[in-house]
Structure 1
Amino acid sequence: MGAPGGDIPAAVLGLDGYIRALNDVATTGRRLTRDELQERRALGEQAAEAGFRLRPLIAAHLAVTRERWPLPRAGAPTGSLDRVLAAVEQAVDAVAEGFERAQRVAVRQEEAARREFIDDLLYGRSDVGRLAARAERFGLRFSSAHAVAVAAGPTGYAEGDAVPRQVEQALIARFGDRGTLLTTKDGLLVCVAPGDQHDVLTYFAKQAYAATGGSRVAVGRPQPGVGGVVHSYEEALNALDLGERLGLEGPVLRAADLLVFPVLTRDRQAMAELVHHTLGPLEQARGGAQPLLRTLTVYFDSGCVTAEAARRLSLSVRALTYRLARVHRLTGADPADPVQRYTLQTAVIGARLLDWPARPATP
């Protein structure tokens, strides 16, 4: 018979002390001492840290027990067999306890390292070279561009929650290992994928939408390098924010489709001035500016089709036409005129971005 434990070194197994203890148990009828059990726990921890598996470790103890079964001496107390079996059970349980404890520590360390990497990756706080070296450990290679998608559900999510696990399992089942990273950040689901694998992020959006009960998903543009992940992540976050503030329709928002909005808000003072001077006169209307601003918003969202806008507002076409005429009289800008319509529509977008009239648009 080969050596107990197979490839596990004898120094790791430490079975000589174990057999001596069993012989003493068979002779005296005692239980294993605290030091003997701690020795087995330490053995389990060391084996786990060295990368050995628990099954051959337990098998080695049982094999050496069978090969060198202790024989009670003359005058030994009755019930020697039961006591030896109880000692074997104690020893094996202690080995498993130590092994599992070491594994829990390793899992916590791995989780901490993963969390630190994700924070550094999404905030761009670490040295680029060090971050790239750590990235390969988590399946990312920055030789190609990456894109980031984020999903916001009705509640916040953390690593290990049911929803992130469900989405991750669906991605793995569909695509296997494609160099993607699924995680959570600030309660959002986050998926980092190679920029040329649009199907991965599309499928993530579909699964996240289903798993969260109808969440909104935003996708940043593919960006190169380590800093590209941060850039794409920020684009996705901004797209989510824009979708919320503007009431944009559709479960998936793509930053590439919303590039005009950052341009409009880049000069906040100029936008505030446009809103103030173009739409400010609407506050003179009976009931304030909000009803007429809502009318303009729906009118523009309807492609400036009067009948469709009236239907969405539950108004008659005549009532809608009257409201548009009222806007024209107050602002001096005609929604039916192409040039003036553009000014009005840009101001309406600015009002939504600045939360006007709830907040004053002070130029």
Structure 2
Amino acid sequence: MSGSADGTVAAILGELAGAAAERNGLPPSLLGGYLTALLEVARTGRRLSAAEEQECRRLGAEAAGDGVGLPALVDLYMTASARLWPHLPVLLDAARDPPRPAGELIAMGEAVWRAADTALAAVTGGHAEELAAAVRREEALRQEFLDDLLSGRSDVGSLVRRGEPLGLRLAATHVAVVAGTDRPVDAGMRLSAVVDEARARIGNRGLLVAAKDGRLVCLLSSPPADDADRGPDPAADALAELAGPVVGRLTGRPDWRVGVGRPHAGPQGVPRSYREAVEALGLGERLALPEPVARARDLLAYRVLLRDETATADLVEVVLGPLTGARGGAEPLLQTLEAYFATGGNAAETARRLHLSVRAVTYRLRRVADLTGRDAADPADHLTLLLAVTAARLLDWPGRRPPAGRAARRTTRSRFPGPGRE
């Protein structure tokens, strides 16, 4: 082919690439040497070379990195192929005389569309790989940021700068929501499902979702603390209600629990709310609370009990310790007290809950009074017994008898992964 013919072919291919790109509003450079390769395939009948296929994969990744959607990219290549097709006879005859016979043209067409199919597969493959890599990079950045933020040891200025691209203005107020099941949550799961559902329910508020210590952690921008303290934040409650079922689906477990911290302002407020959410989650499990969502604001009394474990252990030992001498141990009597308080002192309802007769319930309550010297029906003894029963559950007693005179180490038979106390 003469130099002038080469120039004519290059000009035509350039025009075709430009027209196809203009239709999609994309740069012609995303086609690279695709049309030239198709012309060579039509001329020789060969397949795309490994280098040409790899170039298509690179162009697909480049398009993804530039934010070009896959439908637009596919349309660019298909449009370019379709525009080249009617020009092939002219472009090929510029180098050949006489023209090609009909059978050869059919074979040429098959080769061209086979090459187009191969190129398109490579382009879409490169595009998909780049998107997956971008997601992994973003997840790694989000995970690293969350770990640094919750550790409380990183430079505040750095945290503020890194948080803004992730949608968190750390000078604002945030509330933490932590959800888990008995199967660990990890970053490989589709955590974006939480974000998608949350956006539909709570609108465009700052939200960071990541996995930590086998749990799902959600950090939500909240109203200012002075406003939030006036009452619960409906958006945080909505996030808690949807995070639990989503975690259940992700882990394939029907039983889930959620802990919700209180809103706190500033970079140091985030780890504080997170610790409260983790503690609420653990308390909900240890106390077997009927509601799967445990809110730190509703559990302040339990936190008071746990603040001085030595005094709490002594309370359990002094008030309930004598129950261990009963036939069958302390657990049946403790369960009866727990149900009795939960029903507001209704012996009949207590009996129904425990699947006992009313006579059996009254007998057990009488045994408690005999052994402890405190009557659950007496208002003077009610508070002491209630606090002792609550403290026993917090200390996993009588599963483990707390030693008197020193702090009892809490043992948690929680079904949920991760530390019970942070």
What is the TM-score when the length of structure 1 is the normalising length? 0.83
Secondary structure of residue in 2 paired with 1:357:
coil
* Residues 1:260 and 1:33: Cα distance change in structure 2 (over 3 Å): same
Secondary structure of residue in 2 paired with 1:253:
strand
Match for residue 58 of structure 1 among 77, 94, 97: 77
Following TM superposition, by how much is the alpha carbon of 1:182 offset from its aligned partner in structure 2, in angstroms? Answer: 3.9
Following TM superposition, by how much is the alpha carbon of 1:206 offset from its aligned partner in structure 2, in angstroms? Answer: 3.3
Q: Which residue of 1 aligns with 2:238?
A: 203
- After the TM superposition, which residues 235-274 of structure 1 pair with which residues of structure 2 at under 5 Å, given as runs? 235-274=276-315
- Contact conserved, 2:365 with 2:376, CA < 8 A, in 1? yes
Once the two structures are superposed, residues 27-79 of structure 1 have per-residue CA deviations (whole angstroms, 9 ceiling, x without a partner) of: 44433333333333333333333444524652574377358633142487934
Q: Does structure 1 residue 39 correspond to structure 2 residue 39? A: no
Segments of structure 1 that go 5 or more residues without pairing to the other structure are: none
Q: Distance in 1 between matches of 2:376 and 2:299?
A: 23
Amino acid at match of 1:119: D
Q: Does structure 1 residue 180 correspond to structure 2 residue 207? A: yes
Q: Distance in 2 between matches of 1:251 and 1:63?
A: 58
Following TM superposition, by how much is the alpha carbon of 1:321 offset from its aligned partner in structure 2, in angstroms? Answer: 3.9
Following TM superposition, by how much is the alpha carbon of 1:80 offset from its aligned partner in structure 2, in angstroms? Answer: 3.6
Once the two structures are superposed, residues 80-120 of structure 1 have per-residue CA deviations (whole angstroms, 9 ceiling, x without a partner) of: 44434444444444333333333332232223223333333
Following TM superposition, by how much is the alpha carbon of 1:19 offset from its aligned partner in structure 2, in angstroms? Answer: 4.8
Q: Distance in 1 between matches of 2:169 and 2:326?
A: 58
Q: Distance in 2 between matches of 1:194 and 1:159?
A: 22
Match for residue 277 of structure 1 among 308, 318, 327: 318
* Residues 1:67 and 1:8: Cα distance change in structure 2 (over 3 Å): farther
Q: Does structure 1 residue 95 correspond to structure 2 residue 123? A: yes
Q: Which residue of 1 aligns with 2:92?
A: 71
Secondary structure of residue in 1 paired with 2:268:
helix
Amino acid at match of 1:62: S
* Residues 1:331 and 1:24: Cα distance change in structure 2 (over 3 Å): closer
Q: Distance in 2 between matches of 1:55 and 1:26?
A: 21
Q: Which residue of 2 aligns with 1:356?
A: 397
- After the TM superposition, which residues 155-166 of structure 1 pair with which residues of structure 2 at under 5 Å, given as runs? 155-159=183-187, 161=189
* Residues 1:25 and 1:319: Cα distance change in structure 2 (over 3 Å): closer
Task: Report how many aligned residue pairs link the two structures.
Answer: 360
* Residues 1:67 and 1:254: Cα distance change in structure 2 (over 3 Å): same
Secondary structure of residue in 2 paired with 1:71:
helix
Q: Which residue of 1 aligns with 2:11?
A: none
Secondary structure of residue in 2 paired with 1:300:
helix
Q: Distance in 2 between matches of 1:184 and 1:311?
A: 41
Secondary structure of residue in 2 paired with 1:30:
coil
Following TM superposition, by how much is the alpha carbon of 1:221 offset from its aligned partner in structure 2, in angstroms? Answer: 0.8
Q: Which residue of 2 aligns with 1:293?
A: 334
Following TM superposition, by how much is the alpha carbon of 1:311 offset from its aligned partner in structure 2, in angstroms? Answer: 4.3
Q: Which residue of 1 aligns with 2:198?
A: 171
Secondary structure of residue in 2 paired with 1:349:
helix
* Residues 1:210 and 1:11: Cα distance change in structure 2 (over 3 Å): closer
Following TM superposition, by how much is the alpha carbon of 1:195 offset from its aligned partner in structure 2, in angstroms? Answer: 2.5
- After the TM superposition, which residues 313-328 of structure 1 pair with which residues of structure 2 at under 5 Å, given as runs? 313-328=354-369
Q: Does structure 1 residue 49 correspond to structure 2 residue 65? A: yes
Following TM superposition, by how much is the alpha carbon of 1:362 offset from its aligned partner in structure 2, in angstroms? Answer: 0.4
Q: Does structure 1 residue 309 correspond to structure 2 residue 350? A: yes
Q: Distance in 2 between matches of 1:341 and 1:256?
A: 24
Q: Distance in 1 between matches of 2:147 and 2:75?
A: 38
Q: Distance in 1 between matches of 2:120 and 2:354?
A: 74
Once the two structures are superposed, residues 214-254 of structure 1 have per-residue CA deviations (whole angstroms, 9 ceiling, x without a partner) of: 53332211111223222212212211211222222223221
* Residues 1:269 and 1:42: Cα distance change in structure 2 (over 3 Å): same
Following TM superposition, by how much is the alpha carbon of 1:353 offset from its aligned partner in structure 2, in angstroms? Answer: 1.4
Q: Distance in 2 between matches of 1:165 and 1:48?
A: 19
Secondary structure of residue in 1 paired with 2:335:
helix
What is the TM-score when the length of structure 2 is the normalising length? 0.72
- Contact conserved, 2:210 with 2:217, CA < 8 A, in 1? yes
Amino acid at match of 1:180: L
Q: Does structure 1 residue 136 correspond to structure 2 residue 167? A: no
Q: Distance in 2 between matches of 1:227 and 1:284?
A: 48
Q: Distance in 2 between matches of 1:318 and 1:84?
A: 90
Segments of structure 2 that go 5 or more residues without pairing to the other structure are: 1-14, 224-231, 249-253, 405-422
* Residues 1:88 and 1:346: Cα distance change in structure 2 (over 3 Å): closer
Q: Does structure 1 residue 109 correspond to structure 2 residue 137? A: yes
Following TM superposition, by how much is the alpha carbon of 1:342 offset from its aligned partner in structure 2, in angstroms? Answer: 2.5
Amino acid at match of 2:55: E
Secondary structure of residue in 2 paired with 1:226:
coil
